[in-house]
């Protein structure tokens, strides 16, 4: 990832501040050690590069060994990464490294659960822009590693016309026309948020290739699928959870977006243990 080292350095400055008081007081300056990072709960690991970068920033001579393949579900957990180097550096790096690795592995784990939930339905799970500021590219990479799909990376690489855009433009037809004229190279990505059968017809009449079905229940989604009858791809969005995901996917839509993949994924439980003199 471009900018990963700079991101790690910001995180370390936040944690270390003027210095790691406890480690400096309790660990001899020249001591060496080996640290073992272990996965303690079922899930998929992602974020090894970020964690390795944390250790490398504090000890450029550290020997870092990756012990697991990213994106592979591990029911029993186990060793993830081993790092040998200066003991002080390993201890100072611990929390920041585990924060990156635990959070990103949590995202990959939720993405894996979501992808598993829709198996056999013909639908795919999408992430959203509801990401942690500064971590979007890492979180979206974790989503993909877990087996779900990425939506647009940002406001610059796709056209998604939502209700506020429609209101500002004076209607769906006007918004679509303006978007196509302003960004013809992105016309193939055009998607419009619709809330009812009338708006669906307006978007179809404008030749929109993809519709975002906003906050519709399963009955409404099935009706929308029948109304569209293959004339556009359909994405269900709003209020979706892991528990309701499969029901949404079984309505006949092509996509179900799930903001929780990135904004509510619980961190995967990881630990680091240190052995001195390694």
Known catalytic residues are 95, 130, 162, 193, 214
**Long-range pairs of 77-81 with CB within 8 A, sequence gap ≥ 24:** 77/38, 77/39, 77/40, 77/41, 77/42, 77/43, 78/38, 78/39, 79/36, 79/37, 79/38, 79/39, 80/37, 80/38, 80/39, 80/45, 80/48, 80/270, 81/36, 81/37, 81/48, 81/51, 81/52
Residues 6+ positions from 266 with CB-CB distance below 8 Å: 106, 110
Say what angle helices 218-228 and 197-205 make with each other, to 10 degrees: 30
The overall longest dimension of the chain from CA atoms, in Å, is: 73
Taking the C-alpha atoms of residue 265 and residue 259, their distance in angstroms, rounded to an integer, is 9
Count other C-beta atoms under 10 Å from residue 44's C-beta: 27
Distance CA 201, CA 208 (A): 10
Whole-number Cα distances in Å, 162 to 80, 235, 238: 42, 13, 13
* 80, HSE (Cβ side, Cα atoms, 13 Å): 33
């Amino acid at each position: 990832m471009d900018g990963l080292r700079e991101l790690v350095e910001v995180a370390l400055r936040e944690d270390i501040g003027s210095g790691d008081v406890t480690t400096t007081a309790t660990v001899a300056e020249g001591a060496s050690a080996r640290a073992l990072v272990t996965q303690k709960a079922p899930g998929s690991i992602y974020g090894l590069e970020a964690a390795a970068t944390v250790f490398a920033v504090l000890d450029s001579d550290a020997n870092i060994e990756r012990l697991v393949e990213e994106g592979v579900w591990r029911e029993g957990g186990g060793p993830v990464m081993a790092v040998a180097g200066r003991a002080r550096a390993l201890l100072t790096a611990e929390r920041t490294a585990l924060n990156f690795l635990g959070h990103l592995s949590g995202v990959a784990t939720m993405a894996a659960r979501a992808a598993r939930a829709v198996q056999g339905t013909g639908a795919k799970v999408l992430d959203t822009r509801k990401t942690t500021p500064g971590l979007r590219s890492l979180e979206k990479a974790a989503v993909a590693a877990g087996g779900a799909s990425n939506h647009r990376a940002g406001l610059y690489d796709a056209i998604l016309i939502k209700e506020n855009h429609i209101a500002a433009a004076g209607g769906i037809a006007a918004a679509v026309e303006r978007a196509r004229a302003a960004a013809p190279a992105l016309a193939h990505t055009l998607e419009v948020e619709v809330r009812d059968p009338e708006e669906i017809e307006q978007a179809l009449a404008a030749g929109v290739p993809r519709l975002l079905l906003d906050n519709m229940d399963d009955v409404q989604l099935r009706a929308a699928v029948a109304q569209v009858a293959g004339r556009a791809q359909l994405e269900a969005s709003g209020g979706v959870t892991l528990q309701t995901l499969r029901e949404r996917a079984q309505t006949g839509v092509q996509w179900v977006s799930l903001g929780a993949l990135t904004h509510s994924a619980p961190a995967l439980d990881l630990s680091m243990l240190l052995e001195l003199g390694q």
